[in-house]
Amino acid sequence: MKIALDVMSGDFAPQNPMGGVKLALDELHQIENIYLVGQPEAIEREMQVQGIPSSSRLEIVPAMQVVDMSDSGLDAVRKKKDSSISRAVDLVKEGKADAVVSAGHTGAAVTASLIKLRTLPHIERPAIASIMPSTTHHWVLIDAGANPDSLPEHLVQNAIMGSAYARHVLGRPNPRVGLMSNGTEEEKGNALCKETGKLLRKTPGLNFIGNVEGHDLWETPPDVVVCDGFTGNIILKTSEALAHAMFAMIKSEIMSGARTKLGGLLAKPAFKRIHKRTSADEAGGMPLLGLNGITIIAHGGASAYAMKNALRMACETITHGINPHIIEAVDKHLDQKDGED
């Protein structure tokens, strides 16, 4: 596997992306080559600081421009053609890399990937799939932030892609698909939700269970929850912030007295297991589904450990061959629809 890493993007670049590379070289032996895309002097300096030796598995690809968070996604691609994210996506487009990983500007990563790689047949817009935890099982949130403004048809495509991902990556034979709303009744929701619900109920080959609401996500969620990118990104960031705040509050209470400190010490293994289940660092990155290529989007503040896991997520997405499965699912849906018509 050959992966292009956008080294210059993220809140802690190039330190954390290169820290992820250091961990990946030791742990992810399936990676044949990592293209380090960015400013060569900065990359080489960080390799020296972190003690990353020269390796046949590493290759620096010069890209002198860096996308700022103030840049629009389109401007980042059109006006900064020598940016690290543009050059990294180019490597996938040219067939030199199997996937690109970036912790930078989400809009820039989505726009660069969309313009350069294009979408799969019959998919109009790509969507970010985020693997989310619950008390019972992990589930797919789609779209988690690629498209803030979506049409009902886009959400139907999200449902088909999310269902294919849940089936072939999470191992769910007949994934249950729910539509995010403010109530389970069909008449609940805004105009987008109501129209999407009507289309999903008519979508053949999709195990659509209807609307789901907030508390369903953490207790008994379906395998796939469909929404627009605006709603999905709020769900994603709110849930991550809440998990972080809950652990901080629990730690504060445990440290408040001798008895609670003792109890906390005894419960420490349980807390570690729960933290592992709920930490965004464990997933590392989120696949941008629907593209003629593989793009993994990591959080801007991703740690070195998270960046290593983003590289691992790229490997898993390559291994599962999700794009052919999405194409197959879309074709099957269209065939069934034509048959009903």
The predicted-structure confidence for 92-114, as pLDDT tens digits, reads as follows 999 999 999 999 889 999 999 99
Q: Residue 271 CA to chain centroid, in angstroms? A: 25
Are 38 and 84 in contact by the 8 Å Cβ rule? The answer is: yes
Helices assigned H by DSSP within the chain: 15-27, 40-50, 73-78, 84-93, 106-117, 152-168, 191-201, 229-254, 258-278, 280-283, 304-320, 322-340
Q: Which residues of 93-114 are buried (b: 16+ CB within 10 A; e: fewer)?
A: beeebbbbbbbbbbbbbbbbbb
* Three-class SS of 286-304: EEEECECCCEEEECCCCCH
Task: Kindly report the length of the chain.
Answer: 341
Q: Which residues of 161-200 are buried (b: 16+ CB within 10 A; e: fewer)?
A: bbbbbbbbbbebeebbbbbbbeeeeeeebeebbbebbebb
Rg of the chain over CA atoms, in angstroms?
Answer: 21
Beta bridge partners of 235: none
Q: What is the mean pLDDT of the chain?
A: 92
Are 7 and 14 in contact by the 8 Å Cβ rule? The answer is: yes
Are 333 and 206 in contact by the 8 Å Cβ rule? The answer is: yes
Q: Which domains does the chain have, with CATH numbers?
A: 2-123+290-323 (3.40.718.10), 128-280 (3.40.718.10)
Q: Please, what is the Cα angle at 170 between 26 and 99, to 5 degrees?
A: 50
Helices assigned H by DSSP within 13-141: 15-27, 40-50, 73-78, 84-93, 106-117
Residue type, 9: S
Q: Is 274 helix (H, G, I), strand (E, B) or coil?
A: helix
Q: What CA–CA distance (Å, rounded) separates 233 from 277?
A: 20
pLDDT of residue 340: 65
CB atoms within 10 A of CB 266: 9
Residues 6+ apart with CB under 8 A from 243: 278, 279
The predicted-structure confidence for 121-156, as pLDDT tens digits, reads as follows 999 999 999 999 998 899 999 999 999 999 999 999
Are 26 and 50 in contact by the 8 Å Cβ rule? The answer is: no
Q: What CA–CA distance (Å, rounded) separates 151 from 334?
A: 19
Q: Is 68 helix (H, G, I), strand (E, B) or coil?
A: coil
101: number of CA atoms within 13 Å, CB side? 35
Regions of the chain with pLDDT less than 70? 338-341
Q: What CA–CA distance (Å, rounded) separates 176 from 211?
A: 11
Residue 324, φ and ψ in degrees, nearest 5: -60, -35
Residue appearing with tokens 């993220």: 10
Supply 206's token pair.
């999709």
Strand pairing class (285-289; 58-62) = unpaired
Query: Against a cut of 0.95, is the pTM above it?
Result: no
